[in-house]
């Protein structure tokens, strides 16, 4: 692919009459827009994603976020933008490398190229304003990079973004993103009117003149694409007959909180969880709820526990470091049997780690965290739609079993967008009224059921139910007790509740055949990636299936049987696991990935693991490679 189509910048790009270019039909394509922070690449990409979704295409977006708020301009580490995978059918993950990249400068582009994010031979549309920059160092950097990229086989097309935009607005730098949006609409054969509507929607809160300027930029970009580019794509859409909702995972979580009947969310700002609370702050009060921004993570957890204790199940939303701080409070909720929903939008760890990057590193801390034996329910969301419904399920479980329910999401789902069918509201989603009925004499606040361990909870306001809940070991009357037998009675009851819940869970479905050579087990945001990888291998004839877990504590029945129907089992996770190719690592000291560890100990099956913790969503291509190697192993 060496046919570089570098436009001669001396030829002015005159708006040529629209001619029908033959559009190449594709089943999917990955496009990304990258710029310095603040140049609007994300807004451009999000608008393109919305236009694609409104056209009936499947989409999945991956935000490209620099670690700093205002990284230096034109820096390799400063790339800010968005990647959109557009497909004919529903898209469940970000896919492999980028097919088409639009870059506002060569440095942010270099960052992406070096990270291996661009497909070999990919098409690059590059802002050409730097070519003759007055700073010779910048001009040289641009020209050298351009040459190097062309040499390595990329098809680089220069586009005079700034020059074109300057004709339409004084601050050309601020208009580039909408010009690019128009150009991309031309490339992907999207309906221009749909794009105009989207721009009006995007800038809906602004002045009419702002919308007009941006529509002009959009149209100019579209015309430029039509006149100057020698290629055009069409990705046929599969239209849905149902209304679809397009949101990211954090918004879906917030909508789920709204729909679950919870009405207090206590939080403390933390990346990448906070946007869920931002959204809730905007809409919660209209339905009688409130977001409490506490003084710290511990206080947020304690506030939620207090509200739940008083009869209104509350949620606290956080990420790794905040989750660590909440651990003591979670133990209190476990001990006192106060329902509580905790959302952990995982990020890279340990410690401050990679705040804006994805990792699935908090599974074991969620399952086993807090000192002593503190059984909690742990669920993991596997997609955007799941973010919504999991909140309703979590609240119900929390209140039915008087337990802490931890819902694990992660940084990739937090910002990823994909459409899902618009939920239709059901009254059953909501919490029942606070029980204020008087209690008969002799009622015990911890009257643990002999079989299920469940006790009816008393709320303040209920006559006859007065007692003091405590984090100390206590008897059925909630009296502090150090009696050896009573201590075990409480431990038993709190543990039994997990078993009682486990008996109600369905065995998760196997994706692919029920038996075969290799079973891939995953949890959380990797569902789409794993299933796509399995599909690719099955298309080649490999006997591979996968199993995705929504409940990890407790694990539903029937999983052991599924594992045993496959010759090999491997867990695929987005976190660290020791690699056998390292000199010191052997079967005696290998630290398996968290889920592999849990499956091995529970089912006594030799579950292997493959993982990546690169701060990026895992690519199906990498999973396919790993699975192929596992299939070959021992052959």
Partner 1 sequence: MTMATPLSQCIIKLHEERHDLEDYQGGVPRWCSGCGDNAILAAVQRLCRDENLAPERTVFVSGIGCSSRFPHYMKTYGFHGIHGRAFPIAQGVKMARPDLHVFVNTGDGDCCSIGAAHWIHAIRYNMNLTVILHDNHVYGLTKKQASPTSPVGLKSNTTPRGSVLEALNPLTVTLGVQNVSFVAQAVDWIPELMYDIVSKAFHHRGFSFIRVIQRCPEFLPKMFEPWLHDPAKTLLLTHESGLQPSADLGRIYRNQRAHDPLDIHKAREIASEEDPIPVGILYRNPEVPCYEDLRGAGKPRTVEAVRKGLDAEFDKFTIWPGEQGQSRAA
First-to-final CA distance of the chain? 37
What character string, x for contact with partner 1 (CB under 8 A) and - otherwise, covers 147-186?
----------------------------------------
461: left (phi over 0), alpha (psi -120 to 50) or beta: left
Q: Among 72, 116, 121, 236, which residue sits at the site for partner 1 (rule: CB under 8 A)? A: 236
Q: Nearer to partner 1 by C-beta: 38 or 423?
A: 423
- Listing DSSP states for 71-119 in one string gives PPTT-GGG-EEEEEEEESS---S--SSEEEEEESSHHHHHHHHHTT-EE
Identify whether the C-beta of residue 196 lies closer than 8 Å to the C-beta of residue 212.
Answer: no
Q: Kindly state the smallest distance separating residue 177's Cβ from partner 1, in Å.
A: 21
Whole-angstrom Cα distance, residue 566 to residue 545? 9
Among 321, 419, 577, 620, binds partner 1 (CB under 8 A): 419
Report the site for partner 1 in 30-69 (rule: CB under 8 A).
51, 53-56
∠ CA 512-514-519, nearest 5°, is: 70
Segment 449-468, which members bind partner 1 (CB under 8 A)?
460-468
For the bound state, the minimum distance from the C-beta of residue 596 to partner 1, rounded and expressed in Å, comes to: 34
* Residue 20 to residue 129: CA distance in whole angstroms: 29
Residue 492 has a CB neighbour count (10 Å cut-off) of 12
What is the contact mask toward partner 1 in residues 190 to 209, using x (rule: CB under 8 A)? xx--x---------------
Instruction: Work out which of 43, 312, 543, 628 binds partner 1, going by CB under 8 A.
Output: 312
Q: Does 27 bind partner 1 (CB under 8 A)?
A: no
Task: Choose one: 35-43, 73-81, 208-216, 427-435; the region binding partner 1 (CB under 8 A).
Answer: 427-435
Task: Confirm or reject binding of residue 434 to partner 1 (CB under 8 A).
Answer: yes
User: Is position 389 an interface residue for partner 1 (rule: CB under 8 A)?
Assistant: no
CA distance 454 to 457: 9
Q: Which of residues 282-311 bind partner 1 (CB under 8 A)?
A: 283, 285-290, 292, 294-296, 298-311
Least spacing, CB of residue 125 vs partner 1, in Å: 21
CB nearer to partner 1: give 169 or 245: 245
Angstrom distances, CA of residue 82 to CA of 34, 62, 445: 7, 6, 52
Nearer to partner 1, 132 or 285 (CB): 285
Residue 258 found at the interface with partner 1 (CB under 8 A): yes
Q: What is the DSSP letter of 331?
A: H
Report the residue number, 229 or 598, with the smaller CB distance to partner 1: 229
How many C-beta atoms lie closer than 10 Å to residue 193's C-beta? 8
Asked whether position 416 contacts partner 1 by CB under 8 A, the answer is no
Residues in the chain: 635
Answer yes or no: are the C-beta atoms of 63 and 82 closer than 8 Å. yes
Question: What is the rounded CA–CA span in Å between residue 535 and residue 529?
Answer: 10
Residue range at the interface with partner 1 (CB under 8 A); choices 82-90, 349-357, 430-438, 532-540: 430-438
Q: In terms of Cα–Cα distance, which of 495, 590, 603 is closest to 547?
A: 603
Residue pair 296/268 in contact (Cβ under 8 Å)? The answer is yes
- Closest distance between partner 1 and the C-beta of residue 524, in Å? 23
Find all residues with CB under 8 Å of 496, minimum gap 6, and list them. Answer: 448, 451, 452, 453
Distance CA 619, CA 80 (A): 20
Give the Cβ contact number of residue 100 at 10 Å: 22
Please list every residue from 470 through 509 that binds partner 1, using CB under 8 A: 470-472, 479-480
- Extract the tokens encoding 550: 């929504």
Eight-state DSSP code of residue 422: P
The least CB distance from residue 525 to partner 1, in Å, is: 20
Q: How far is the CB of 32 from partner 1 (least distance, A)?
A: 22
Residue 364 in contact with partner 1, rule: CB under 8 A: no
Select from 210-218, 233-241, 390-398, 514-522 the region that touches partner 1 (CB under 8 A).
Answer: 233-241
| Residue 96 or 328 having the CB closest to partner 1 | 328
Identify which of residues 113 and 184 has a Cβ nearer to partner 1 in the complex.
184
Is-contact 104 161, C-beta < 8 A? yes
CB of 389 or CB of 576, closer to partner 1: 389
Q: Which two tokens stand for residue 162?
A: 């700034």
Q: Could you give the CA distance from residue 575 to residue 612 in angstroms, rounded to a whole number?
A: 6
Total residues binding partner 1 (CB under 8 A) = 90
Q: What is the nearest approach in angstroms of partner 1 to the Cβ of residue 620?
A: 26
Provide, rounded to whole angstroms, the least separation between the CB of residue 166 and partner 1. Answer: 31
Q: How far is the CB of 478 from partner 1 (least distance, A)?
A: 9
Position 90 contacts partner 1 (CB under 8 A): no
Among 108, 110, 184, 332, binds partner 1 (CB under 8 A): 332
Cβ neighbourhood burial of 107 (10 Å; 0-12, 13-18, 19+): buried
Token output for 106: 């060569």
Q: What three-state secondary structure class fits 321?
A: helix
By beta-carbon proximity to partner 1, the closer residue of 294 and 585 is 294
Among 4, 75, 143, 244, binds partner 1 (CB under 8 A): 244
Largest CA distance in the chain: 93
d(CA 414, CA 270): 12
- 427 and 377 Cβ atoms separated by less than 8 Å: no
392: which 2 tokens?
A: 């309703």
Q: Which is nearer to partner 1, 51 or 381 (CB)?
A: 51
**Where do the H-state alpha helices sit in 284-426?**
297-309, 320-336, 363-368, 384-401, 411-415
Q: In angstroms, what is the minimal distance from the CB of 132 to partner 1? A: 37
Candidates 328-336, 500-508, 514-522, 524-532: pick the segment binding partner 1 (CB under 8 A). 328-336
Nearer to partner 1, 20 or 584 (CB): 20
Q: Determine the interface stretch with partner 1 among 104-112, 128-136, 278-286, 540-548 (rule: CB under 8 A).
A: 278-286
Q: How many CB atoms lie within 10 A of CB 615?
A: 18
When asked if residue 261 is in the footprint of partner 1 (CB under 8 A), the reply is yes
Kindly indicate which of the ranges 257-265, 269-277, 354-362, 526-534 contains the residues binding partner 1, using the contact rule CB under 8 A: 257-265
Q: Closest approach of Cβ 458 to partner 1, in Å? A: 8
Nearer to partner 1 (CB atom), residue 148 or residue 234 = 234
CA distance 329 to 327: 5
- Min separation Cβ 628 and partner 1, Å: 35
245 contacts partner 1 (rule: CB under 8 A): yes
């Amino acid at each position: 692919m060496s046919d570089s189509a570098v436009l001669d910048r001396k030829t002015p790009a005159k708006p040529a009459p629209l001619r029908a270019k033959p559009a190449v039909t594709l089943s999917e394509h990955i496009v990304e827009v990258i710029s310095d922070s603040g140049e609007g690449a994300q807004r451009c990409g999000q608008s393109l994603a919305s236009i694609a979704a409104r056209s009936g295409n499947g989409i999945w977006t991956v935000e490209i976020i620099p670690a700093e708020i205002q990284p230096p301009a034109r820096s390799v580490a400063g790339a800010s933008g968005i990647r959109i995978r557009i497909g004919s059918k529903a898209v469940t993950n970000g896919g492999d490398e980028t097919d088409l990249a639009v870059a506002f400068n060569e440095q942010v582009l270099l960052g992406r190229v070096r990270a291996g994010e661009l497909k070999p031979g990919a098409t690059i549309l590059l802002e050409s304003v730097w070519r003759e920059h007055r700073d010779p160092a910048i001009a040289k950097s641009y020209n050298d990079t351009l040459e190097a990229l062309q040499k390595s086989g990329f098809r680089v097309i220069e586009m005079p973004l700034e020059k074109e935009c300057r004709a339409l607005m004084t601050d050309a730098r601020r208009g580039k993103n909408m010009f690019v949006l128009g150009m991309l609409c031309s490339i992907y054969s999207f309906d221009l009117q749909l794009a105009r509507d989207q721009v009006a929607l995007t800038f809906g809160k602004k002045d009419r003149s702002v919308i007009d300027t941006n529509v002009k930029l959009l149209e100019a970009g579209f015309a430029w694409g039509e006149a100057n580019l020698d290629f055009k794509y069409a990705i046929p859409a599969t239209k849905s007959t149902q209304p679809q909702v397009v949101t990211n995972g954090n918004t879906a979580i917030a909508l789920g909180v709204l729909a679950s009947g919870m009405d207090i969310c206590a939080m403390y700002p933390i990346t990448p969880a906070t946007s869920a609370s931002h959204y809730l702050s905007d809409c919660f009060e209209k339905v009688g709820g409130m977001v409490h921004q506490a003084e710290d993570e511990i206080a947020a957890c304690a506030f939620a526990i207090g509200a739940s204790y008083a009869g209104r199940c509350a949620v606290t939303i956080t990420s790794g470091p905040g989750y660590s701080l909440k651990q003591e409070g979670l133990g209190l909720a476990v001990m006192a049997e106060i329902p509580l929903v905790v959302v952990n939008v995982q990020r890279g760890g340990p410690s401050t780690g990679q705040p804006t990057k994805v990792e699935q590193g908090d599974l074991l801390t969620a399952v086993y965290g807090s000192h002593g034996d503190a059984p909690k329910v742990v669920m993991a969301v596997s997609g955007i739609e799941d973010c919504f419904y999991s909140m309703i399920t979590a609240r119900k479980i929390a209140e039915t079993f008087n337990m802490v329910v931890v819902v694990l999401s992660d940084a990739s789902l937090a910002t990823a967008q994909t459409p899902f069918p618009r939920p239709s509201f059901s009254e059953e989603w909501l919490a029942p009224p606070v029980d204020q009925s008087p209690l008969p004499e002799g009622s015990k606040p911890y009257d643990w059921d002999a079989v299920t361990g469940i006790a009816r909870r008393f709320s303040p306001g209920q006559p006859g139910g007065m007692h003091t809940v405590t984090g100390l070991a206590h008897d059925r009357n909630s009296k502090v007790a150090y009696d050896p037998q009573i201590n075990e009675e409480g431990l038993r009851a709190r543990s039994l509740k997990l078993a009682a819940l486990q008996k109600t869970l369905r065995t998760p479905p196997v994706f692919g055949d029920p038996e075969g050579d290799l079973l891939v087990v995953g949890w959380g945001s990797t569902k789409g990636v794993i299933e796509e990888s399995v599909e690719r291998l099955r298309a080649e004839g490999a006997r591979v299936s996968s199993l995705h877990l929504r409940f990890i504590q407790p694990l539903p029945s029937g999983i052991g049987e599924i594992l045993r129907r496959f010759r090999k089992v491997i867990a695929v996770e987005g976190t660290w696991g020791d690699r056998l190719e390292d000199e010191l690592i052997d079967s005696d000291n290998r630290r398996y990935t968290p889920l592999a560890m849990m499956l091995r100990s529970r089912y006594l099956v030799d579950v292997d693991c493959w993982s990546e913790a690169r701060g990026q969503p895992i690519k199906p291509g990498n999973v396919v490679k790993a699975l192929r190697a596992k299939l070959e192993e021992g052959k």
